[in-house]
Amino acid sequence: LHLITGIRRNMRNQLMPLVDKRMLRGRFVIETVFDILKCQMGLEHSRHRSPINAMVHILSCLVAYAYRPGKPSILRKGKKLEAYP
């Protein structure tokens, strides 16, 4: 188990592997997507009477998110991280 977190004020400075730095940069975008899915698309509802209905609900939230304009994105090839609300 390898915990990847940012350096805080009360922590000692340590060198972080490049892979961990890249994962931390993408964490903001991932958390933003989950927040949009939970708050705006209604993904939190968990009282389904069957597993099939639960999966249909998750799939419908993902499809609605896919058609949503202005999604967060990560630019590649050395460019900076950008997130659009």
Q: Please say whether the beta carbons of 65 and 59 come within 8 A.
A: no
pTM of the model: 0.59
59-70 average pLDDT score: 87
Alpha-carbon span 37 to 25, nearest angstrom: 20
Which token pair is 39? 């708050």
Structural domain includes residue 73: no
Structural domain includes residue 79: no
How many domains, in total, are found in the chain?
1
3-state class (DSSP) for residue 82: strand
Q: Please say whether the beta carbons of 33 and 65 come within 8 A.
A: yes
Structural domain includes residue 57: yes
Q: Please say whether the beta carbons of 78 and 22 come within 8 A.
A: no
pLDDT-based confidence at 29, cuts 50/70/90?
confident
Domain span at 57: 19-67
What is the per-residue pLDDT for 7? 77
Structural domain includes residue 6: no
